[in-house]
A and B are shown apart, each in its own frame.
Chain A
Amino acid sequence: MAQITVHRPDVADDRPQASSLARRVSLPAGAVLTLIENGKPNARALMVKVAEGLRSRLGIARVDIHSKPSAASAIGPDEAKAIAARSHLVITGVGD
């Protein structure tokens, strides 16, 4: 029986096994939540329903929906800054 040395073809998965949640803060009056939808058919319609539910359950003033031009790409840095500037909460991940 011959032993051989071989390279592994994969790479280390350095992602943390667990991470702590961000600090929770009280929302101000007139809080704005933004949902980023991925641009696929019916995604916006679904997000409108979700927005209506969140508005009533969380008691926030407004829920905005931001549509991506391509589900295949992340939003750009300028878009991200603009959304962050006008929102108190942002939900960024909408799958299909």
Chain B
Amino acid sequence: MTGIAEHERRSGARSAAAPADVIVLEESDLQERFHAEGWSDGLPVVAPTPDRVDAMLAAARLDPDLVVGIVPQRDRVVTAEKVAVNAVMAGCRPEYFPLVVTAMGAILQPAFNAHTVITSTGGAALCLVVSGTEADRLGMNAAHNVLGSGNRANATIGRAVRLVARNVLGASSPGLDGSSFGHPGKYSLCIAEAPPPAGWEPLRVELGFSADDSTVTVAPTEGPWQIANHLSPAARDILLTFAAAIRCPVTFSVGKGGHEVVVLFGPEHAQAVAAEGWTRSDVCEFLVAHTRVTPEELAAAGVHLEVGAQHDMTPDADGRLATLASPASVYVVTCGGAGAGWSAYLPTWAPSIHARAVTLRIPRPHERWPCTDVHGRTIDWLVFAPPSAPQPPRRLQHVHDPTRAAFA
């Protein structure tokens, strides 16, 4: 660009063909240069100066070249430094960085299938749900406007992982992001879990982690649906309202054998359901049972059944098709603000045969990140997964992915 005084230097670790890792420019030209290069999501960015990037890495005590994960289909390696650069740009504070890196590590697990999630016409967001005291320490919002704007941690942590997808993995349009529409959650979609009502365990405990842990769950989601039930205090009525939303035929995955959903219970709904003695497991089982649809319901909405294709839409013995494969497909999260009786839910972007949510434990402050020397000091995410970490379908494993051993 004319008018921008700059020089570029090459990192000694990079090949001669690689672009410079740093550039020098007029500070006043930063926004225009980054927009022109396609490095921004359309919003202004914070200048990723070396001192700011170093502060991010120092907060997590990570070496810049440490490998956070790979996307073998794109021949892309995501290093801690690149995550830090994008976290600075997103506006993260350094103390957010361990969470950002953990979320990115979860996104890069084979079960999440990042390559397809960030490519598909379905336009999935990288939805982050944080459970545990780390959310409080970082000042995250789990209350009013939890899906909206106004909280720095929520906004910038979610934005950081999306910027990594854009800048390191090539997820931009035009380009490798083929989203037909996308949705606002593709700027940022990161929420915290509020303490659940009496009788319910928090999400992290339900997933097999310790109550003392903090976790981040990443899920590839469509946009959120708000769920209104302002008048009934009965648990069954409230859950039927949830089920009516989840089984709506306009959602791509309905009736296609089972996808995952993130169900956000507002305070009134959570308290009403828990007060009647319904456990989280009861809720999940209810939603699985009451979101099974008939071919006639789909046909009434103009939806054709897939025949001889990847989604088996042959009705079961009861004449119905599964929308949620099992109770484990339902991620119940308590959050949102009190008021009238609102909740929300986020469908994942496709049936679970294609991609699944992944949860990892966030390292505690001052905890040493485990590394291995195999294949160049890759973070060993197994240390942050529970012993009962779900097994992805074998078809989702990739030949050249060194993390596949985690699921062998």
Q: Please, what's the 1-or-0 string for A61-92, where 1 marks a CB less than 8 Å from any CB in chain B? A: 00000001111111011000000000000000
- CB-CB under 8 A from A14, the residues of chain B are 15, 17-18, 75
Interface: A24 (CB within 8 A) = no
Whether, in the assembled complex, B367 has its beta carbon less than 8 Å from a beta carbon of chain A, the answer is: no
Do B27 and A3 have beta carbons less than 8 Å apart? yes
What CA separation (Å) do A64 and B367 show in the bound complex? 54
Asked whether, in the complex, the Cβ of A6 is within 8 Å of the Cβ of B49, the reply is yes
Is the beta-carbon distance between A6 and B73 smaller than 8 angstroms? Answer: no
A55 interface residue (CB < 8 Å to B): no
Question: From B86, which residue of chain A is reached at the shortest CB distance?
Answer: A9
Q: Give complex CA distance A88, B80 in Å.
A: 44
Contact of B314 with A by CB under 8 A = no
CB-CB under 8 A from A74, the residues of chain B are 73, 398-399
Q: B110 — nearest CB in chain A belongs to which residue? A: A73
A26 to chain B, nearest CB (A): 31
Which residues of B in the span 70-109 have a Cβ within 8 Å of any Cβ on A? 73, 75-77, 81-82, 85-86, 88-89
B382 within 8 Å of A by Cβ?
no
Instruction: Report whether B25 and A6 are in contact in the complex, using a CB–CB cutoff of 8 Å.
Output: yes
Residue of A nearest to B116 (CB): A72
Judge whether A73 and B22 touch: CB under 8 Å.
Answer: no
Total A-B residue contacts, Cβ distance less than 8 Å: 121
Within 8 A of B (CB), among A1-57: 1-12, 14-15, 38-44
Asked if B50 is at the interface of the complex by the 8 Å CB criterion, the answer is: yes
On whether the beta carbons of B308 and A44 are closer than 8 Å, the reply is yes
Q: Assess whether B310 is interfacial by the CB under 8 Å rule.
A: yes
| Partner-binding segment picked from B268-276, B291-299, B347-355 | B347-355
Instruction: Report how far A2 CA is from B47 CA in the complex, Å.
Output: 13
B281 to chain A, nearest CB (A): 29
A71 to B404, CA, bound (A): 20
Please judge, given known A-B contacts A6-B22, A12-B19, whether A72 and B168 are in contact too, CB under 8 Å.
no
CB-contact partner of B24 in A4, A38, A69, A70, under 8 A = A4
Taking chain A's interface residues, is the majority helix, strand, or loop, or is none over half, making it mixed?
A: loop
- Contact residue among A5, A15, A38, A76 (Cβ-Cβ distance under 8 Å from B397): A76
The answer to whether A69 touches B23 (Cβ under 8 A) is no
**Does B405 have its Cβ within 8 Å of any Cβ on chain A?**
no
Contact of A73 with B19 at beta-carbon distance under 8 Å, contacts A3-B27, A10-B39, A11-B168 already known? no
Q: Which of B1-59 contact A (CB under 8 A)?
A: 5, 14-15, 17-28, 30, 37, 39, 47-50, 53
Indicate whether B394 reaches chain A with its CB closer than 8 angstroms: yes
| Residue B309 interfacial (CB < 8 Å) | yes
Q: Complex Cα distance A69/B353, Å?
A: 8
A73 x B395 contact (CB < 8 A): yes
B396 within 8 Å of A (CB atoms): yes
If A9-B168, A12-B15 touch, whether A4 touches B163 (CB-CB below 8 Å) is: no
Q: Apart from A10-B37, A12-B15, A70-B354, what are 12 other A-B pairs with CB-CB below 8 Å?
A: A5-B23, A5-B24, A6-B30, A7-B53, A9-B48, A9-B85, A39-B309, A40-B310, A41-B309, A70-B395, A72-B120, A72-B353
Offer 25 A-B interface pairs, CB within 8 angstroms, sorted by A: A3-B25, A4-B47, A5-B50, A6-B25, A6-B50, A7-B50, A8-B22, A9-B82, A9-B86, A9-B167, A11-B168, A12-B19, A14-B18, A15-B75, A38-B310, A39-B309, A42-B309, A44-B308, A69-B310, A71-B116, A71-B310, A72-B116, A76-B394, A76-B395, A77-B399
List residues of chain B with CB under 8 Å of any chain A CB.
5, 14-15, 17-28, 30, 37, 39, 47-50, 53, 73, 75-77, 81-82, 85-86, 88-89, 113, 116, 120, 163, 167-168, 306-310, 350, 353-355, 394-399
